[in-house]
Structure 1
């Protein structure tokens, strides 16, 4: 008596799935990890670090100029309004540029144009996300790409989780 052996299709063999399942799982996890790495890439390292290092003396001169002029300010965020009280020993310009730089995500950086509303008071509006920590830079140059040509600058840092005000001073050496 000859027994007739029925053959199953290859995809119904259990040994095949025992071998293939870990391989498929590794491929899927790898694809997910690569997509996360590309989408949420950390852009804290400047691509122009060498040029930034060469330009350091320009920013040091800006800080020294601000120190000589006796510049200091207090920045306050109230709702979407931004106010700045600026003290200094010279005629203040009619407009200033405030740059808010996110410590990790460059696409979240914001520039705010502040206009003088009183002798030493400036005002503007901020429509961004008021959470977490931000680096602040104030300068008389209104074009953010020309920040190295500004006559002076004030810097600071704000953490919106802790408060809505921040002092602005020349960077310490």
Structure 2
């Protein structure tokens, strides 16, 4: 046996190539996962439409003054509403109080989902003589709902926010804006 060709081996001197060790791969795993997550985020941004941005923002901005007039009209009439949802019966019951104009017994109610417009609910409401109403409503999903109630001619408007199912009822009132 030739002793000149034998090399002493120690635990710290491993002669295997770098790719045979686990630590370089473990260290490279972090940056690789960041690149994959970035590509996935870019794919989501490219393929999904942003539901919070409207195409006609200028037109909607100009319509704000008209909306404020509707809120002021509701405040002048002293209108306010209270709604209560009965999930067992699948009905939304409510009452509209204040000086409701004569013959104005039809309203439009919008339940606007906080992030997904395809889940918005728009329904017509007919008021009784005492201002009470009841409409069939499917089971609502857990969300922060924006509620808008207005007459069918767009003369006044009440708004409110409803955190379902934490809140069983919601109160609507006009947004009081200073007169211009």
TM-score when normalising by structure 2: 0.69
Structure 1 consecutive aligned stretches of length 4 or more whose deviation exceeds 6 Å: 25-28
Which structure has the highest helix share of the two?
1
Q: Give structure 1 stretches of 5+ with no counterpart.
A: 1-13, 15-21, 142-148
Q: Would you say 1:124 and 2:135 are equivalent positions?
A: yes
Q: Over alpha carbons, which structure has the higher Rg?
A: 2
Match for residue 85 of structure 1 among 82, 95, 98:
95
Number of residue pairs the alignment of both structures matches: 149
Contact 1:117 1:123 in 2 (8 A): no
Contact 1:75 1:84 in 2 (8 A): yes
Name the CA distance, whole Å, in 2 between partners of 1:100 and 1:92: 24
Contact 2:72 2:176 in 1 (8 A): no
**Cα RMSD for the two superposed structures:** 2.8
Seen in structure 2, the aligned counterparts of structure 1 residues 40 and 102 have a Cα distance that, compared at 3 Å, is farther
Q: Which deviates further from its counterpart, 59-68 or 123-132?
A: 123-132
Q: Give structure 2 stretches of 5+ with no counterpart.
A: 1-18, 20-28
Q: CA deviation at 1:68?
A: 1.0
Q: Deviations over 1:102-129 (max 9, x none)?
A: 1211111111222224421011122153
